[in-house]
Structure 1
Amino acid sequence: MLHQLKYKIIAFTIVFAAVISSCKSGAGISKKDSAAVLQKEDFKHYVDYFNKMEDENLKFAIPNDSAWAWMENNIPLFECPQQNFEEMYYFRWWTARKHIKNTPQGYAITEFLVDRSYADKYNMIACALGHHINEFRWVHDPKYIEQDVHLWYRGNDGKPMNKLYKFSSWTADALYNRYLVNKDEKFLLDMMPDMVTDYAVWEKDRQRKDGLFWQHDVKDGMEESLSGGRKVQNARPTINSYMYGNAMAISKMAAMKGDKALEEKFKAKADNLQNLIEKKLWNPKSDFFETFTEKDTLAQVREAIGFIPWYFNLPEKGKGFEKAWEQLKDEKGFSAPFGLTTAERRSPRFRTHGTGTCEWDGAIWPFATAQTLTAMANVLNNYNQEIVNKTDYFKQMNLYVESQYYRGRPYIGEYLDETTGYWLMGDRERSRYYNHSTFNDLMITGLVGLRPRADEKIEVNPLIPQDKWDWFCLDNVLYHGDIITVLWDKTGEKYGKGKGFRIFKNGKEIAVSDKLERLVAE
């Protein structure tokens, strides 16, 4: 008897040691059982359908036959009664996975699947790097986006890639936002010197004497705009807001490291930019942030880039800047049948001088839509105003979903006609699966409303109108090292967890309300 007990103890010790070793090596607890409410297999049918609807002429690190296995191990789960929202959620993870590419220096994340002549090594393009970081911060395995970032900043014999500075960037801000999700301080602070150097490069190459930054519209990734040109050196709301966001992020990184001098230095840079943007880029006649031209005059046209300051919570509260958001609902402004236009529709120059390949003079671009909806969620969460509300947000998210179909099938491409929904590059191979925007980050942080933060409180503020859906669930969200579940069940019959709105941490309920409202779990 003692002999048998001895071997049982030895066997248990071996198994326990193996589990501990697995956790220490990064394998962690199997995510097969990590979802608290939803069953992963219930969503596999989407991937089966996506795999069958295309010929897969291009295969990279994770081909279609491995797509479900990758998604099963890496993505949060989402379920709702509006089928197109649910389908698009899984489609966008399925397409994002296509852009993960193996290189001799680690993983890269591409923008186009087909090779582009103006791309860097491994077909990398820096224009949407901020979007890539914000989308991939929700992927459970960190190596994909971390190796991509390292490649961009250290992949050229320890130096940045040659074409990193071909496009404006909000990388430092995006990396800090990623830290708010995974709390990986080590990775963030390791990248801080690169971000400080990055900021200095932009100051040297693009800062004007007055302190604002200038950029060609094409190097903002927004060529043929109404306010600019490929060779015009304008102070645009884009690059100036990006640099404000980057300065704030670096200041916060420096505070984490205990570098008070660097913290104050970059906070001062951010404060100065905020002041300049509010004074020089705000047009009190149009109540909008506009491009400040190289002739030191405002462009006198509203463009979607005027919403970008709120992407970084830049505009001061209580100063009336929120009035700009009236244009989002105005059909003469940016409201169109298939989404948000990139320039105001009332302009006599609306969609008059695009090249036929890249038209930012009014057509709808998911890149800009994602930025505007991120900014709008910030307004609804962080500003006291009555101009836009949850209904307005849901309407635009709904249009964003509806626009991402082509010939009856899910599709994401470059840009589309604002009245017909026709994808203007939809029949060109280069446009298919264009990785140039966020969608699932909007679903998580905007629609469902999980608001990443630096402390250990869990804040959720859904932007879904109270009576729109009777139920929904976001599950298997890896946040601060825990698995978070957010669900709404109007009757309590769908999930069997009771009526109301609930937050779970590792399967344990930590907050509840009888209605859809902001919840903060201690």
Structure 2
Amino acid sequence: MTLLKLNIKFILLFLAIALYGCKAKSAKTNHSAEILNVDDYKHYVDYFNRMEDENIAKAVPNDSAWSWMQKNIPLFDCPQDNFEEMYYFRWWSLRKHITKTPEGYGITEFLVERSYADKYNLIACALGHHIYEFRWVHNPEYSNQNVHLWYRGNDGKPMSRLHKFSSWTPDALYNQYLVNKDEAYLIDMYPDMVSDYARWEEERQRPDGLFWQNDVKDGMEESLSGGRHVRNARPTINSYMFANAKALSTMATMKGDTEKADYFNKKADTLKQLIETKLWNTEAEFFETLTEKDTSSNVREAIGFIPWYFNLPSKNKGYEAAWNQFKDEEGFAAPFGLTTAERRSPRFRSHGTGTCEWDGAVWPFATSQTLTALANVLNNYPQDVVDKSDYFHQMNLYVESQYYRGRPYIGEYLDETTGYWLMGDRERSRYYNHSTFNDLIITGLVGLRPRADEKIEVNPLIPEETWDWFCLDNILYHGDILTILWDKTGEKYNKGKGFKVFRNGEEVASAATLTKVISE
């Protein structure tokens, strides 16, 4: 056999192996649910489609909603009907915001046009929420193209209003990577995020190293600690910049750039120290806004929980005492959820209604941030202040709050004692895409904790005597399909008693009780 023929033979063999690998990966990522029957949940979509008019149709209209959901979402089954209904409603409403632009998919916040939006009616305020929620959608292009649009959609440059709002996008993209392991996309976007970080430093960093922000550009106008034009150092933007620096340091390590990894890690360490020393109010035992005069605002607001969204506070230093306010009725615990300012404040709900007040009313934006933070506390911090019953209680209130006139609804903000949606009759408020919900079900309630290695960690935050069974199925994670179930008697799913985790149909972890498990 000639050398040429041998070369051709080896080339053909190489191509065959590569093609087989591609087909194998494709087959693996196209698994359907292992336990649940997708058609059992179609009735939710049929109801949502007919419960009210389709006010605005974008890339995936109502008549295509079920087809889209069949292809893209994990399935959830539980004995509490409103949890299950709200889970499917939030996926159904989320896809309403997918918009097709000449430059790829975008994800909107409002369906109706807003004067302060960027091109294609995009608004950057909830971009971090969008990434966290969409990371569980099987087709990654919706989130990927949306982020690409924000950073390169203005003739190859960032959109003009990317910096209209504070952002935790690098952190969110790294956490998306922990789900889909798409390193190539993450590294491709890395230079854009490095440049973006530098721009934030130029625009918003104070001489002491903290960052300042107007309340309105944190997406939290009319707060008790500041104002629309006040340059305060807030727990929000400072926690975001800490998390972004940590994420960029990790990305630099992935690239093999140890110098940049150290550069961003030092920035994160500096911000951590500043937040713990300058934003922590020792007397109030809470992270609070620092005013332009470098004094504490002396009011507890829900933004004081945000440092835990990014696992920022040091462990065993007493910071967890802040979570006493989470369940205090004079703090943040109200009949219809978590308030955005402490209820004991004499200025609580003092700014009127209808002008986007963050003076105490319940905002899903803040609720989803606080519940993400609480899940981190329960998973990562030794403490005895809060437990999984506190998480479940507030998730239950979050579900109950998302109804308006008897129908599933997600809007802007609501009265903390009546549950009435304060902008509920305004068309702009309908389907407001400004929070997460299904990410909380997946990572908090059911407890799948994304990680960089190939171990599967699940720590459910459901008190064991609350539900006798539940199942989260068809979860696309690291290219595999996961199934997580709890079956107290073994008679619901016929997979045996207890708590079980399956990868592509094979059991990889289990426990007799509803407790944390990690696969080998």
Q: 1:512 Cα deviation (Å)?
A: 1.1
Deviation per CA, 1:156-202, whole angstroms, max 9, x where unpaired? Answer: 01100000000000000000000000111000011110111110010
1: distance between equivalents of 2:482 and 2:229? 48
Secondary structure of the corresponding residue to residue 483 of structure 1:
strand
Alignment of structure 1 residues 26-65 onto 2, 5 Å: 28-29=26-27, 34-65=32-63
Q: Which residue of 2 aligns with 1:368?
A: 366
Q: Contact 2:354–2:423 (CA<8 Å) still a contact in 1? A: no
Q: Does 1:149 align with 2:147?
A: yes
**Residue 451 of structure 2 is aligned with which of 442, 450, 453?**
453
Establish whether residue 253 from structure 1 lines up as the match of residue 260 from structure 2.
no
- The equivalences for 1:410-429 within 5 A come to 410-429=408-427
Report the equivalent of 2:488: 490
Q: Given that residues 292 and 298 in structure 1 are in contact (C-alpha distance below 8 angstroms), is that contact kept between their aligned partners in structure 2?
A: yes
Task: Answer yes or no: is the 8 Å Cα contact 1:95–1:433 preserved in 2.
Answer: yes
For 2:396 and 2:26, how far apart are their aligned partners in 1?
Answer: 37
Residue in 2 that maps onto 1:293: 291
Counterpart position of 2:10: none
Amino acid at match of 2:151: Y
Kindly report which structure 2 residues correspond to 1:127-138, keeping only aligned pairs within 5 A, or say none.
Answer: 127-138=125-136
Q: Name the residue aligned to 2:192.
A: 194
SS at match of 2:415: coil
1:81 aligns with 2:82: no
Q: Which residue of 1 aligns with 2:276?
A: 278
Q: In the TM superposition, what are the counterparts of 1:380-419 in structure 2 within 5 Å? A: 380-419=378-417
Q: Map Cα deviations across residues 287-336 of structure 1 (whole Å, 9 max, x no partner).
A: 00000000100000000000000000000001000000000000000000
What amino acid does structure 2 have at the position aligned with 1:307?
F
Query: Given residue 67 of structure 2, which amino acid in structure 1 is its aligned partner?
Result: A
Q: Give 1:258-337 correspondences, 5 Å limit.
A: 258-337=256-335
In structure 2, give the amino acid aligned to 1:334: F
1:242 aligns with 2:249: no
The CA distance in 2 between the partners of 1:516 and 1:147, in whole Å, is 38
How far has the Cα of 1:28 moved from its partner? 2.7
Correspondence for 2:345 among 337, 344, 347: 347
| Cα shift readout 1:463-507 (whole Å, capped 9, x = no counterpart) | 000100000000000000000000000000000000000000000
The answer to whether structure 1 residue 182 and structure 2 residue 180 are counterparts is yes
The offset of 1:54, in angstroms, is 1.4
2:473 — aligned with what? Answer: 475
- Aligned-partner residue type, residue 211 of structure 1: G
Aligned length: 506
Work out which of the residue numbers 102, 105, 108 in structure 1 matches 2:103: 105
Q: Secondary structure at the match of 1:331?
A: coil
Aligned-pair CA distance for 1:353: 1.5
Task: Tell me by how many angstroms 1:32 deviates.
Answer: 7.4
When structure 1 is superposed on structure 2, of 33-42 and 265-274 the one drifting more is 33-42
Deviation, 1:30, is 8.6
1:138-157 deviation line (CA, Å, top 9, x unaligned)? 00001101000000000001
Identity %: 75
The residue type equivalent to 2:488 in the other structure is K
Give the structure-2-normalised TM-score: 0.95
Amino acid at match of 2:398: Y
Aligned to 1:6: none
Q: What's the CA shift for 1:57?
A: 2.2
Residues 354 and 361 of structure 1 are in contact (CA less than 8 Å); yes or no, is this contact kept in structure 2? no
| Corresponding residue SS for 1:325 | helix
Name 2:513's counterpart in structure 1. Answer: 515
The residue type paired with residue 113 of structure 2 is: D
The amino acid of 2:443's aligned partner reads T
Q: Cα gap change, 1:451/1:300 in structure 2, threshold over 3 Å: closer, same or farther? A: same
Alignment-derived partner of residue 355 in structure 2: 357
Q: Distance in 2 between matches of 1:484 and 1:126?
A: 32
Distance in 2 (CA, whole Å) between partners of 1:112 and 1:496 is 43
1:35 alignment partner AA: A
* Structure 1 segments unaligned to the other structure (5+ residues): 1-16
Q: What is the 5 A alignment of 1:160-239? A: 160-239=158-237
1:31–1:73 contact (8 Å) kept in structure 2: no
Match of 1:9 in 2: none
Structure 1 residue 354: deviation in Å? 4.4
Verify the 8 A CA contact 1:224 1:355 in the aligned structure 2.
Answer: no
Q: CA deviation at 1:34?
A: 1.7
Deviation at 1:356, TM superposition (A): 2.1
Unaligned runs of 5+ in 2: 1-14
SS in 1 for 2:231: coil
Match of 1:114 among 112, 115, 118: 112
Paired letter, 2:365? F
Q: Which amino acid aligns with 1:357?
A: T
When residues 216 and 355 of structure 1 are mapped into structure 2, their CA distance, relative to the original with a 3 A threshold, is: farther
Distance between the aligned counterparts of 2:352 and 2:232, measured in 1? 18
TM-score by length of 1: 0.95
> Could you list the per-position Cα deviations for residues 11-65 of structure 1 after superposition, in whole angstroms to 9, with x for gaps in the alignment?
xxxxxx99x9798499933977521100100000000000000110211000000
Partner SS for 1:119? coil
